[in-house]
């Protein structure tokens, strides 16, 4: 009676939990009656009645089961069409684990992103290395122009005491050169000074021409305290990306291996449960015939139907698991949408892990790309801090420049009005050339920036401290993962031995039960139970075998050497090398 009372406890707790929302919690009542250590049959009958009432309450919560008619043959429902379609063999591609790993290393988009990031950072390193070289700049320009100019003076300029040259009366030999090259006397007072401008005098002209220049400049930083830290920080960031790439290879190999092993398990389970369901259907049909003939009671038919339903539930779940396992492996391999992978390798057993736990931990910490990536990040942050602090230090630059210029300008359409104005020299066509050069030093020293640089340095220091804590966390995580995989590997090996013994015993028990059934010493139900135990032992041995392979792959993930250079080929090692090589 312990089982029914446990169900009573769960049911009462569920009902109490659903009724306690928004209502006062009642006083606790005893949920389990004292054990019936004898008593009368009436007490046992009352216990069964109480259990039936609780089961009815549970059915009301979950929904009632379909009613069974006396003539119901209890045949099973067909499997879901969606699961059958997802598990069909159309467009499936059988592949081994080595082939799957090769495809993953080549097609995985995450690895492709990391390869592109490494290539981009390599270009940034080359760009930063250019700071050690001088810069050469050539600038050239050319333009054409035309301008219309008019100059007018509303006042005369003879009232400033500047001498007779600015007086209205003066030199009688003042002439004006006209546009055709001839001369004629000025049309205002003949005795005016040569620089005299009457009130309202004006002068207009039109000019156009071409101007061109070219210059060459060389700059070189003789003293720059931030140059070397900047280049080294870029290289440290490249090291971080390369180590992250190597760690991503480890993670991808583990993900593909786990997905492949689980696909092997689900495919094998699907075969086992499919065979069980087919066998149950045949036996159910025989039992139905015997029951209709009145040879066996209806309870045998009900038991066989329950066994069929249980195995069918397992088959349905296994088909769903296999469809998901196929899609998970498909995602890791980045296969075309019309291709579905399937496992072609037989289920083999990985060898026992060759190292002790202590040796495994030491080997995992040694040259670990996951930890090396964090170390490279800290190194890059320290160098960035130096480069940022260098902004407050002087910067000495050498520069040299040389240039040349040429222009052509034509002046035409000269006109005077109001007695003339602004009698400057007029050149009908002017050509000019020039050149220059310079050489010098420039000093740039940021003396005060209101704490901008110092706060940026402090921020980088805090990032470095955070990276140090991240290193500790990842190091502890590596130990946890390794110990968990190591202990589970040992446990899986032990469980595999136990499962093998159980399978051997179940085979012998099934053989004996078959002989007893053939001789009439036992019934079909006992034979079915023995068969269920045999299948259960077979499944447990399969799961233990897969667990051994998965835990070995998890251990291998922590120690497997991987290349840090994306241009190098990626090996597909399924076992630990006897002498690990440095990638």
What mean pLDDT is reported for the chain?
84
- Helix and strand numbers (H, E) in the chain are 11, 8
* pLDDT value at 5 more than 50: no
* pLDDT value at 435 more than 70: yes
* pLDDT value at 189 more than 70: no
pLDDT digits 0-9 by tens, 315-360: 999 999 999 999 999 999 999 998 999 999 999 999 999 999 999 9
* pLDDT value at 29 more than 60: no
Who contacts 538 (Cβ-Cβ below 8 Å, separation ≥6)? 272, 503, 506
Distance in angstroms (rounded) separating the CA atoms of residues 404 and 215: 6
* pLDDT value at 561 more than 70: yes
Distance in angstroms (rounded) separating the CA atoms of residues 381 and 462: 10
pLDDT digits 0-9 by tens, 82-117: 888 888 877 789 999 999 999 999 999 999 999 999
pLDDT digits 0-9 by tens, 32-87: 444 444 456 676 677 777 777 776 776 666 665 555 555 555 566 777 888 888 88
pLDDT mean over 234-243 = 97
pLDDT computed for residue 415 by the predictor: 82
List the single range of 63-77, 228-242, 360-374, 541-555 with lowest mean pLDDT: 63-77
pLDDT computed for residue 160 by the predictor: 78
E strand intervals along 178-285: 183-185, 201-224
For tokens 């890791």, the residue is: 332
Distance in angstroms (rounded) separating the CA atoms of residues 239 and 164: 86
Band (519; pLDDT cuts 50, 70, 90): confident
Percentage of the chain modeled with pLDDT above 70: 83
Q: Comparing C-alpha atoms, which of 241, 253, 247, 244 is closest to residue 332? A: 253
* pLDDT value at 210 more than 90: yes
The answer to whether the CB of 436 falls within 8 A of the CB of 405 is no
pLDDT computed for residue 171 by the predictor: 47
pLDDT computed for residue 21 by the predictor: 39
Between these two residues, 290 and 55, which has the higher pLDDT value?
290
pLDDT digits 0-9 by tens, 156-186: 888 777 777 777 765 444 445 455 555 555 5
For tokens 């001789």, the residue is: 519
pLDDT computed for residue 571 by the predictor: 86
Please give the C-alpha separations between residue 353 and each of 97, 176, 181, 358, 479, in angstroms, as whole numbers.
19, 112, 109, 13, 16
The answer to whether the CB of 112 falls within 8 A of the CB of 334 is no
Structural domains of the chain, ranges and CATH numbers in brackets: 92-130+226-385+457-559 (1.20.1600.10), 136-225+394-444 (no CATH)
Between these two residues, 42 and 204, which has the higher pLDDT value?
204
Q: Comparing C-alpha atoms, which of 238, 220, 232 is closest to residue 386? A: 232
pLDDT computed for residue 67 by the predictor: 55
Band (363; pLDDT cuts 50, 70, 90): very high
Q: Which tokens go with 239? A: 């090291």
Distance in angstroms (rounded) separating the CA atoms of residues 506 and 440: 96
pLDDT mean over 237-266 = 97
pLDDT mean over 503-524 = 87
3-class state of residue 169 by DSSP? coil
- Longest CA–CA span in the chain (Å) reads 158
Distance in angstroms (rounded) separating the CA atoms of residues 265 and 546: 7
């Amino acid at each position: 009676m312990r089982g029914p009372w446990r169900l009573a406890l769960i049911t009462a707790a569920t009902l109490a939990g659903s009724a306690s929302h928004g209502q006062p919690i009642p006083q606790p009542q005893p949920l389990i009656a004292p054990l019936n250590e004898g008593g009368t049959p009436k007490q046992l009958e009352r216990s069964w009645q109480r259990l039936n009432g609780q089961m009815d309450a549970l059915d009301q919560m979950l929904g009632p089961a379909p009613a069974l008619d006396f003539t119901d043959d209890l045949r099973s429902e067909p499997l879901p069409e969606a699961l059958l379609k997802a598990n069909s063999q159309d467009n499936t591609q059988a592949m081994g684990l080595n082939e799957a790993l090769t495809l993953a290393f080549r097609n995985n988009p995450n690895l492709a992103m990391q390869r592109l990031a490494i290539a981009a950072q390599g270009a940034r390193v080359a760009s930063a290395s250019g700071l050690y070289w001088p810069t050469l700049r050539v600038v050239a320009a050319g333009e054409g122009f035309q301008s219309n100019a008019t100059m007018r003076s509303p006042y005369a300029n003879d009232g400033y005491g500047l001498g007779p040259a600015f007086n209205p009366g003066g030199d009688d030999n003042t002439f004006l050169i006209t546009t055709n090259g001839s001369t004629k006397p000025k049309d205002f007072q003949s005795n005016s000074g040569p620089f005299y401008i009457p009130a309202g005098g004006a002068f207009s002209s039109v000019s156009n021409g071409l101007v061109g220049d070219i210059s060459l400049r060389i700059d070189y930083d003789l003293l720059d305290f931030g140059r070397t830290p900047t280049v080294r920080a870029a290289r440290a960031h490249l090291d971080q990306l390369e180590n992250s790439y190597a760690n991503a290879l480890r993670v991808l190999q583990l993900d593909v291996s786990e997905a492949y092993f689980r696909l092997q398990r689900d495919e094998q389970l699907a075969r086992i449960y499919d065979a069980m369901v087919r066998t149950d259907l045949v036996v159910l049909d025989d039992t139905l015939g015997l029951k209709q003939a009145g040879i066996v009671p209806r309870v045998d038919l009900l038991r066989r139907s329950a066994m069929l339903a249980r195995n069918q539930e397992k088959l349905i779940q296994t088909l769903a698991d296999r469809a998901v396992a196929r899609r998970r492996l498909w995602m890791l391999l980045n296969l075309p949408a019309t291709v579905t992978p399937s496992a072609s390798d037989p289920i083999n057993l990985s060898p026992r892990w060759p190292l002790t736990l202590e040796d495994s931990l030491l080997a995992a910490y040694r040259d670990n790309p996951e930890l090396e990536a964090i170390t490279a990040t800290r190194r890059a942050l320290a160098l960035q801090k130096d480069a940022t602090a260098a902004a407050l230090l002087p910067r000495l630059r050498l520069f040299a420049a040389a240039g040349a210029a040429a222009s052509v300008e034509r002046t035409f359409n000269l006109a005077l009005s109001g007695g003339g104005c602004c009698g400057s020299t007029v050149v009908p066509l002017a050509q000019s050339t020039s050149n220059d050069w310079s050489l010098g030093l420039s000093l740039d020293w940021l003396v005060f920036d209101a704490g901008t640089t110092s706060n940026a340095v402090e921020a980088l220091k805090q990032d470095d401290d955070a990276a140090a804590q991240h290193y500790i966390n990842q190091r502890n995580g590596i130990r946890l993962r390794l110990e968990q995989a190591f202990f589970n590997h040992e446990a899986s090996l032990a469980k595999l031995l136990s499962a093998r013994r159980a399978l051997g015993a179940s085979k012998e028990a099934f053989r004996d039960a078959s002989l007893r059934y053939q001789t009439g010493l036992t019934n079909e139900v006992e034979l079915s139970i023995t068969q269920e135990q045999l299948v259960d032992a077979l499944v447990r041995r399969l799961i233990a075998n897969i667990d051994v392979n998965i835990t070995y792959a998890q251990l291998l993930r922590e120690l497997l050497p991987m290349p840090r250079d994306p241009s190098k080929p990626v090996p597909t090692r399924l076992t630990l090398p006897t002498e690990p090589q440095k990638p």
